Amino acid sequence: MKNTSEMLPGTLDMLVLKAVSLAPLHGYGVLLRIRDISGGALDIPQGSLYPALYRLEHQQLIASEWGQSDNNRRAKFYSITPAGRKRLRQETAGWNQMANAIAAALSARPEEV
Amino acid sequence: MLRFLRSLLGLPSNRADFEDRMSEEMRFHIDSFIEDLVRSGLSPQEASRRARIEFGHIDSIKQDCRQARGLQLLDELSRNLRQSARLLSKTPAFTLTAILPLAFCLGANLAIFALLDGVLLRPLPFPDPGRLVLLYKTYPNAGVLRDGASPANLYERRGRIAAFSHIAISHPDAAIVGEPGATVREDILLVSTDFFSTLGVQPIFGRAFQEDEMTYETDRVAILTHDYWTRHFHSDPAAVGRQIRMDGQSRTIVGILPPGFTYLSSKAVIYTPYASAPNERGPAQRHSGRGGELIARLHPSTTIEAAQSQIDAFDASVAHEYAHAAMMAAAGYRTKIVNLHADHVASIRPTLLLLQTGVFFLLLIGSVNLVNLLLVRASARNKELAVRLALGAGRWHIVGEVITETAMLTSLGGLLSLFIAAGAIPLLAALGTEHLPFAHRITFDYHLASIAMLASVLTGFFAGVPVAWLSLRGSVGAALQGETRGGTAGHAAQRLRHGFMVAQIALAFVLLSAAGLLRLSLERVGALSLGFPSDHLLSGHISLPWPAYPQPQMRLTFTENLLTTIANQPGVHAAGIVSNLPLSGNNTQSGVNVVSRPLKPGELPRVPFAYSVGGSYFDAVRVPLLEGRLLDAADSRRPDRVCVVDEIFARHYWPSGGAIGERIFLGPVLKKDTDAFTIVGVVGRVKQTSLSETTSQGSVYLPYGHRADNNFYIVARTAHAPDTLNATLARIVRQIDPDLPINDVRSMETRITESLTSRRAPTLLAAVFAAASLLLASFGTYGVLSYAVSRRRREIGVRVALGAPPNAIRMQFLVLGLRLLLGGTCLGTAGAWAAGLAMQKLLYDLPPLYWPNLAAAASVMLVATLAACLIPSHRAARVSPIAALSG
Looking at beta carbons, which residues of chain A come within 8 Å of B70?
58
d(CA B830, CA A24): 72
Query: Cβ B25–A52 below 8 Å, yes or no?
Result: no
d(CA B336, CA B49): 90
Q: How remote is the C-alpha of B385 from its chain's centroid?
A: 47
Q: Please indicate if any CB of chain A lies within 8 Å of the CB of B33.
A: yes
- pLDDT above 50: residue A2: no
> Quick one: pLDDT at residue B189?
96
d(CA B697, CA B684): 13
- CB of B708 within 8 A of CB of B501? no
pLDDT tens for B533-552 read 999 999 999 988 888 898 99
Query: Cβ A76–B21 below 8 Å, yes or no?
Result: yes
Q: To probe the interface with A, which of B61, B62, B72, B74 has the most A CB atoms within 10 Å?
A: B61
Q: CA separation (Å) from B721 to B435, B717, B718?
A: 26, 10, 7
d(CA B443, CA B395): 44
Query: Cβ B67–A51 below 8 Å, yes or no?
Result: yes
- CB of A83 within 8 A of CB of A57? no
> Quick one: pLDDT at residue B12?
59
Q: Please indicate if any CB of chain A lies within 8 Å of the CB of B25.
A: yes
> Quick one: pLDDT at residue B882?
77
Looking at beta carbons, which residues of chain B come within 8 Å of A47?
55-58, 60-61
Query: Cβ A71–B67 below 8 Å, yes or no?
Result: no
Q: Please indicate if any CB of chain B lies within 8 Å of the CB of A74.
A: yes
- CB of B307 within 8 A of CB of B131? no
> Quick one: pLDDT at residue B484?
46
- pLDDT above 50: residue B730: yes
Q: CA separation (Å) from B96 to B377, B461, B611?
A: 14, 19, 62
Q: To probe the interface with B, which of A46, A62, A71 has the most B CB atoms within 10 Å?
A: A46
Q: CA separation (Å) from B281 to B62, B214, B319, B331, B627?
A: 84, 11, 15, 22, 43
Main-chain dihedrals φ then ψ at residue B271, nearest 5 degrees: -110, 135
Say which residue, B882 or B654, is predicted with more confidence.
Answer: B654
- pLDDT above 90: residue B50: no
Query: Cβ A47–B55 below 8 Å, yes or no?
Result: yes
Q: CA separation (Å) from A6 to A2, A43, A95, B60, B290?
A: 7, 11, 16, 22, 90
d(CA B555, CA B576): 14
d(CA B37, CA B57): 19
CA distance A89 to chain B (A): 23
Q: Quick one: average pLDDT of A76-97?
A: 91
- pLDDT above 50: residue A3: no
- pLDDT above 50: residue B744: yes
Looking at beta carbons, which residues of chain B come within 8 Å of A51?
61, 64-65, 67-68
Sign of the Cα torsion B319, B325, B326, B329 reads: negative
d(CA B703, CA B666): 13
Q: CA separation (Å) from A22 to A29, B34, B821?
A: 12, 25, 77
**DSSP annotation of B121:** I
Strand, helix or coil for residue B628: strand
Instruction: Find the helix or strand (DSSP H, E) in which B272 lies.
Output: strand B270-273
Torsion of CA B388, B394, B395, B397, to 10 degrees: -100
Strand pairing partners for B186? Answer: B175
* Structure ipTM over 0.90, yes or no: no
Amino acid at B240: V
Query: Cβ B35–A71 below 8 Å, yes or no?
Result: yes
Looking at beta carbons, which residues of chain A come within 8 Å of B64?
50-51, 54
- CB of B785 within 8 A of CB of B817? yes
- The beta strand positions in B180-246, using DSSP E, are 184-191, 205-206, 221-224, 243-246
Domain boundaries, chain A: 4-108
Instruction: Find the helix or strand (DSSP H, E) in which B621 lies.
Output: helix B617-621
Domain A4-108 has CATH 3.20.20.100: no
Binned at pLDDT 50, 70 and 90, residue B1 comes out as very low
**DSSP annotation of B204:** S
Q: Please indicate if any CB of chain B lies within 8 Å of the CB of A69.
A: yes
Query: Cβ B28–A45 below 8 Å, yes or no?
Result: no
d(CA B728, CA B396): 77
Of the partner residues A58, A74, A76, the one whose CB lies closest to the CB of residue B70: A58
Count of Cβ atoms closer than 10 Å to residue B688 Cβ: 22
d(CA B137, CA B328): 11
Helix axes B757-791 and B395-431, enclosed angle (nearest 10) = 150
Q: Please indicate if any CB of chain A lies within 8 Å of the CB of B61.
A: yes
> Quick one: pLDDT at residue A113?
64
Judging by DSSP bridges, how do beta strands B642-646 and B711-718 pair with one another? unpaired
Query: Cβ A58–B61 below 8 Å, yes or no?
Result: no
Residue B278 sits at the vertex; the CA angle it makes with B272 and B279, to the nearest 5 degrees, is 120
Q: Quick one: average pLDDT of A59-67?
A: 88
Q: CA separation (Å) from B504 to B361, B362, B363, B497, B654?
A: 9, 9, 11, 10, 59
Smallest CA-to-CA distance from B114 within B535, B449, B350, B412 is with B449
Of the partner residues B54, B57, B61, the one whose CB lies closest to the CB of residue A51: B61
Q: Please indicate if any CB of chain B lies within 8 Å of the CB of A89.
A: no
Query: Cβ B28–A76 below 8 Å, yes or no?
Result: yes
Q: Please indicate if any CB of chain A lies within 8 Å of the CB of B384.
A: no
**DSSP annotation of B212:** G
CA distance A65 to chain B (A): 11
Q: Please indicate if any CB of chain A lies within 8 Å of the CB of B20.
A: no
CA distance A49 to chain B (A): 9
Query: Cβ B56–A57 below 8 Å, yes or no?
Result: no
Amino acid at B740: L
Smallest CA-to-CA distance from B191 within B230, B221, B229 is with B221
- pLDDT above 90: residue A67: no
**CB-based contacts of B238-242 (< 8 A; 24+ apart in sequence):** B239/B205, B240/B205, B240/B206, B241/B206
Query: Cβ B55–A28 below 8 Å, yes or no?
Result: no
Q: Please indicate if any CB of chain B lies within 8 Å of the CB of A45.
A: yes
Main-chain dihedrals φ then ψ at residue B337, nearest 5 degrees: -115, 125
**DSSP annotation of B598:** P
pLDDT tens for B132-148 read 999 999 988 887 788 88
Count of Cβ atoms closer than 10 Å to residue B376 Cβ: 19
- CB of B650 within 8 A of CB of B686? no
Looking at beta carbons, which residues of chain A come within 8 Å of B54?
45-46
For a pLDDT cut of 90, what percent of chain B falls above it? 44
d(CA B225, CA B188): 10
Of the partner residues B24, B32, B58, the one whose CB lies closest to the CB of residue A28: B32
Q: Please indicate if any CB of chain A lies within 8 Å of the CB of B54.
A: yes
Strand, helix or coil for residue B348: coil
Looking at beta carbons, which residues of chain B come within 8 Å of A63?
none
pLDDT tens for B421-454 read 998 888 888 787 777 888 888 888 888 889 889 9
Q: Quick one: average pLDDT of B388-393?
A: 72
Count of Cβ atoms closer than 10 Å to residue B265 Cβ: 15
Strand, helix or coil for residue B579: coil
Exposed (0-12), middle (13-18) or buried (19+): which is B168, by Cβ within 10 Å?
buried
Say which residue, B347 or B581, is predicted with more confidence.
Answer: B581
Domain boundaries, chain B: 2-70, 77-125+347-484, 129-299, 490-527+757-887, 537-719
- CB of B471 within 8 A of CB of B489? no
Q: Quick one: average pLDDT of B510-527?
A: 93
Q: Quick one: average pLDDT of B801-824?
A: 88
> Quick one: pLDDT at residue B669?
66
- pLDDT above 90: residue B562: yes
Provide the b/e sequence for B769-778 (b: ≥16 CB within 10 Å): bbebbbebbb
State which residue of chain B sits closest to A70, comparing Cα positions.
Answer: B32
Strand, helix or coil for residue B618: helix
Count of Cβ atoms closer than 10 Å to residue B435 Cβ: 14
Helix axes B757-791 and B92-116, enclosed angle (nearest 10) = 160
pLDDT tens for B71-113 read 666 777 777 788 788 877 887 878 888 888 899 999 999 999 9
Main-chain dihedrals φ then ψ at residue B460, nearest 5 degrees: -60, -40
Sign of the Cα torsion B607, B613, B616, B617 reads: negative
d(CA A80, CA B455): 43
- CB of B203 within 8 A of CB of B256? yes
pLDDT tens for B287-339 read 876 678 999 999 999 999 999 999 999 999 998 888 888 888 888 899 999 99
pLDDT mean across residues, chain B: 87
Query: Which H, E and C letters describe B695-719, residue by residue?
Result: CCCCEEEEEHHHCCCCEEEEEEEEC
Q: To probe the interface with B, which of A48, A50, A62, A73 has the most B CB atoms within 10 Å?
A: A50
Q: Please indicate if any CB of chain B lies within 8 Å of the CB of A73.
A: yes
Q: Please indicate if any CB of chain B lies within 8 Å of the CB of A50.
A: yes
pLDDT tens for B7-23 read 545 555 577 788 888 88
State which residue of chain A sits closest to B12, comparing Cα positions.
Answer: A58
Residues in chain A, how many? 113
CA distance B71 to chain A (A): 10
d(CA B642, CA B630): 10
d(CA B283, CA B883): 96
CB-based contacts of B513, cutoff 8 Å, min separation 6: B828, B832, B835, B836, B853, B854, B857
Q: To probe the interface with A, which of B11, B19, B25 has the most A CB atoms within 10 Å?
A: B25
Exposed (0-12), middle (13-18) or buried (19+): which is B269, by Cβ within 10 Å?
buried
Query: Cβ B56–A76 below 8 Å, yes or no?
Result: no
- pLDDT above 90: residue B575: yes
Count of Cβ atoms closer than 10 Å to residue B786 Cβ: 19
- The beta strand positions in B149-248, using DSSP E, are 164-177, 184-191, 205-206, 221-224, 243-246
Say which residue, B823 or B669, is predicted with more confidence.
Answer: B823
Q: Please indicate if any CB of chain B lies within 8 Å of the CB of A43.
A: no
Q: CA separation (Å) from B739 to B245, B577, B816?
A: 11, 20, 76
Of the partner residues A45, A51, A69, the one whose CB lies closest to the CB of residue B64: A51
Of the partner residues B29, B60, B67, the one whose CB lies closest to the CB of residue A28: B29
Looking at beta carbons, which residues of chain A come within 8 Å of B52?
none
Q: Please indicate if any CB of chain A lies within 8 Å of the CB of B27.
A: no
Amino acid at B417: S
- pLDDT above 70: residue B478: no
Q: Please indicate if any CB of chain B lies within 8 Å of the CB of A35.
A: no
Q: Quick one: average pLDDT of B180-198?
A: 90
